[in-house]
Amino acid sequence: MTDLIRGVTEADWPEVVALEAEAYADTPLTEGEAALRSRAAAGTCFVLDLDGRIAGYALALPCPRFSYPDLARAEQCAHPRTGVSNLHLHDLVVTAPLRRRGLGTRLARHLSEVARVRGFATMSLIAVAGKEPFWRANGYRPHHEARLPAGYGSDAVYMSARLAAAREAS
């Protein structure tokens, strides 16, 4: 099995939308294609391509710290947001049959490296559905003081991580 993390293409959207629907079935977290596409406009969104099949994705966009996308609507602002030093990981999904194989960690690390190289100082996310331990293990710390809308779920936790500065080329 060959896997490749690459940018989202137009042809990937049906599979990304299907993965989102699978991951968040029976929850208010399903956003649909228009909202997902709007969050991908910053060019910091990737898919995990396993032999031509999309097995996961990560969608991130610049957002000031302690702010996050509204689940009820698509993004209205132009990307990238200039002057924003935080990249918000809005969603990371791996198809259920392939979970617990390190693929989510690979996607998260890839996104962190891209963010670091592009000059972001921090990354943030909202851990949902009991995923706070996963994100802690990946270097994120919780901010339980952050107020989140009910739409993210009662166990949702805002988390962030500092990124190491990109090394100067020698």
169 lies in some domain: no
Average of per-residue pLDDT values in the chain: 86
Task: Between 169 and 102, name the one with better pLDDT.
Answer: 102
136 lies in some domain: yes
Helix extents (H) in 24-94: 33-39
122-127 and 86-94 as β-strands: parallel, antiparallel, unpaired?
A: parallel
- Concatenate the DSSP letters of all residues of 101-118 into one string: SSHHHHHHHHHHHHHHHT
CATH code, 156: 3.40.630.30
Flag the least confident range among 53-62, 72-81, 117-126, 158-167. 72-81
Flag the least confident range among 19-33, 78-92, 152-166. 78-92
Whether this model's pTM surpasses 0.85: yes
CB 138 within 8 A of CB 159: no
Mean pLDDT of all residues in 14-23: 93
148 φ, ψ to 5°?
-120, 145
Identify any residues that bridge with 161 across adjacent strands, giving them in sequence order.
Answer: 123
Sheet holding 3-7, edge to edge: 3-7, 44-50, 53-62, 86-94, 122-127, 157-162, 141-142
Mean pLDDT of all residues in 14-20: 94
d(CA 11, CA 64): 30
98 lies in some domain: yes
Q: Which domain covers residue 69, as residue numbers?
A: 3-162
6 φ, ψ to 5°?
-145, 165
Give me the pLDDT at residue 40, please: 79
Flag the least confident range among 18-27, 30-39, 161-170. 161-170
Give me the pLDDT at residue 170, please: 36
Give me the pLDDT at residue 169, please: 41
167 lies in some domain: no
Total domain count, the chain? 1
